[in-house]
Structure 1
Amino acid sequence: MARLQLRNLEKDYGGFKAVHGINLEVADGEFMVLVGPSGCAKSTTLRMIAGLERVTGGEIRIGDSLVNDKAPGERGIAMVFQNYALYPHMKVRKNLSFGLRLKRRPKEEIEQATHDVSNILEIGDYLERLPKQLSGGQAQRVAVGRALIKKPQVFLFDEPLSNLDAKLRASMRVRITDLHKQLKADGLQSTVVYVTHDQTEAMTMGDRICVMKEGRIMQVADPVKLYNRPANAFVAGFIGSPEMNLIDSKLDGRSLKIGGKVLELDDEMLSRLQPRGTDVTLGVRPQHFAVVGVDVANALDGRVSHVEFMGHEVYLYIRVEGQQVIAVVPANHYDRGKINGDAIRLAPQAGSAHLFDRASGENISLSNQA
């Protein structure tokens, strides 16, 4: 079994605490993504799992084994790095088989494993090439193949796509997730921990996502729950593109005051609200703002300051009571030349808004929400 457990895991660099006692369990065969901004300690956490960083406190268990003091080669892991880390003087065939040759596996086993892995990743035509003769996408597939051929208990990926262009990143996302599904279907070890700062990668690849900030876990959930039920304002602002609008507000009974404007909270919002104080943050995703007419009373007035045409949709940047919000609208509904500078009215779609306690950042509008 390839379950991974982190129990009260800590990392201290001589007075600077990078990881603050995190707890995380990755199920056998799960694709877990660690995501967060630069400096949140996601790569440090991965390197501790790999044995490349010493654990200051807590435990790392792979399967039923405590691996804190085990060398990287004894942990049953394989790691794919951001910079591929291929041996430049070895052809692809030898790069793939190097780990098996170190273990002095039989020649026939090495040849069969190399053949199988190269077929899975469609790199059979590159086996006699040197790394310098490969494109970025080809080199990354070789790096994945070198990890796959070891048949590890846990695969570790440290921002493996960040050096690729946008088109290659998209295709490699599909390849890696398809590979994970194939390994699971074949009954092979397929537990993955994948580190990225790109929330698009996280949302499209992970079975579950662990959102980190400053060495702490903010929320662990599947992509749908993270998007629809963020536990706090940090997760709400980090997950989603464009990011969620977070608008400083004051709660007053059934009303929400935003500058000189007032929004009345509907019964649905009130039914799931657990107020902690009057200073709150209204969260509305750009896609959940409806542009409404003057006949709609419960709406916010603003003025468009900037327009971005994105093809099938338009991003409207709007000043509302001194704060900037973004609304995403279908492109075929609006004439770009007539929007900029125009007055506009926005209303949150029913059931789409969140309220966060401004002091703690906690989402206080999740009670009774499915």
Structure 2
Amino acid sequence: MASVDLINLEKTYGGGFRAVHGINLNIADGEFMVLVGPSGCAKSTTLRMVAGLEEITGGEVRIGGKVVNSLSPGERSIAMVFQNYALYPHMKVRSNLAFGLKLAGVPKPEIRKAVDEVAAILEIEPLLDRLPKQLSGGQAQRVALGRALIKKPGVFLFDEPLSNLDAKLRASMRVRITELHKRLKTQGLSSTVLYVTHDQTEAMTMGDRICVMQGGHIMQVADPKTLYNRPANLFVAGFIGMPEMNLIDGRLDGDAFVLGDQRLPLDLSRLPRRPAQAVLGVRPQNLTPGATGLTGTLAHVEFMGHDVNLHVDIGPARMVATMPAADFDRLDRAGDRVTLTPDPSALHIFDKDSGDNLSL
């Protein structure tokens, strides 16, 4: 196993565009760290600098405590899994798995043993004599995992590995990858993972910790529960969670949040300061129809199976509340007035100018 440390890491391209802004990140031995963020946030660029596929223009990458800035990818004790699998189309699965060991001059009996062990771990023994074109997307991705695993690297790097799979396969592969990570960890084998995705579901269900990125900056690093319950700023609050957190512009007046002509009483005693412009944050799951709160017009209803999402227009703002579908029959239909009551313990107050969460 090996730790990964990014120290003041920067990436500036020839035209002067600064893609990565001196970020710092520590990934412990055996940790599953996910880089998540929207397209263009530099998460893949960061991963490629760790891999040695992208030149580092400032700062350091350390793997196992060793600075690797000047080392080639092959010298960094890493293995990479891409979204396009990158299997050799003319080679059967067995040969694809064995190729790296063959190049390294590993004796044939050891290669056969390693291939059999990896195939058993990933349950791909029946696929060993097939060509890549004879594999499904999920099967091909398992072979790609096997080719990385067989190298016994210090660090696994995943770059959007599930983005080409359908929803059902993505769900099953998420479980396979996380279970594999746990299994390797218990066996004392290579299990440090840096995983890049734009999909917050992958991030929240797979990562020990998650690094949320935007515009080449790190916005927050925390475990999934902390990110969801205690987002550090407006960006994280709006990015993490589905449906996303309601973020409503307003102002603080006395002990209330004011939205138009409505006042929502709040306990603001713990706020470190009172911003000139405030944003109220509350997750849809923490809003329920009630007698007190914020009142608006029910504009739209989404039936989600077990739950329904109520879209309610409150002045210039729209809020979404999630409730059990069984309870929806107690409400009037679209076009009628609805009052949404927030859970006081689940409210967030953000400074609109700085984006900081003042409720932490």
Q: TM-score range by the shorter chain?
A: over 0.9
Question: 1:350 corresponds to which residue?
Answer: 344
Tell me the secondary structure at the aligned position of residue 351 of structure 1: helix
Using the alignment, how far apart are the partners of 1:336 and 1:129 within structure 2? 57
Unaligned runs of 5+ in 2: none
Contact 2:266 2:344 in 1 (8 A): no
Q: State the one-letter code of the partner of 1:322.
A: P
Question: 1:97 corresponds to which residue?
Answer: 98
Contact 2:252 2:274 in 1 (8 A): no
Trace 1:242-281 onto structure 2 (pairs within 5 A): 242-266=243-267, 270-281=268-279
Tell me the secondary structure at the aligned position of residue 91 of structure 2: coil
Contact 1:318 1:325 in 2 (8 A): yes
Q: State the one-letter code of the partner of 2:122.
A: L
- TM-score, normalisation: structure 1: 0.95
Q: State the one-letter code of the partner of 2:13.
A: Y
Out of 349, 353, 360, the position equivalent to 2:354 is: 360
Tell me the secondary structure at the aligned position of residue 365 of structure 1: coil
Tell me the secondary structure at the aligned position of residue 89 of structure 2: coil
Contact 1:307 1:336 in 2 (8 A): no
Using the alignment, how far apart are the partners of 2:241 and 2:214 within structure 1? 16
Asked whether 1:194 is paired with 2:195, we answer: yes
Q: State the one-letter code of the partner of 2:340.
A: L
Q: State the one-letter code of the partner of 1:33.
A: V
Q: Offset at 1:337? A: 9.4
Trace 1:267-306 onto structure 2 (pairs within 5 A): 270-293=268-291, 296=292, 299-306=293-300
Question: 2:310 corresponds to which residue?
Answer: 316
RMSD: 1.1
Question: 1:140 corresponds to which residue?
Answer: 141
Unaligned runs of 5+ in 1: none
Tell me the secondary structure at the aligned position of residue 248 of structure 1: strand
Q: State the one-letter code of the partner of 1:138.
A: Q
Tell me the secondary structure at the aligned position of residue 341 of structure 1: coil
% of aligned pairs identical? 67
Question: 1:208 corresponds to which residue?
Answer: 209
Using the alignment, how far apart are the partners of 2:151 and 2:104 within structure 1? 10
Contact 1:60 1:66 in 2 (8 A): yes
Q: State the one-letter code of the partner of 1:20.
A: H
Question: 1:118 corresponds to which residue?
Answer: 119
User: Cα gap change, 1:97/1:336 in structure 2, threshold over 3 Å: closer, same or farther?
Assistant: farther
Measured against aligned partners, the alpha-carbon deviations of 1:303-346 in whole angstroms (never above 9, x if no partner) come to: 11111100000011110111111110100011399421121001
Q: Which runs of 4+ in 1 moved over 6 A?
A: none
Using the alignment, how far apart are the partners of 1:349 and 1:85 within structure 2? 49
Using the alignment, how far apart are the partners of 2:65 and 2:241 within structure 1? 36
Q: State the one-letter code of the partner of 1:304.
A: L
Question: 2:28 corresponds to which residue?
Answer: 27
Using the alignment, how far apart are the partners of 1:277 and 1:160 within structure 2? 42
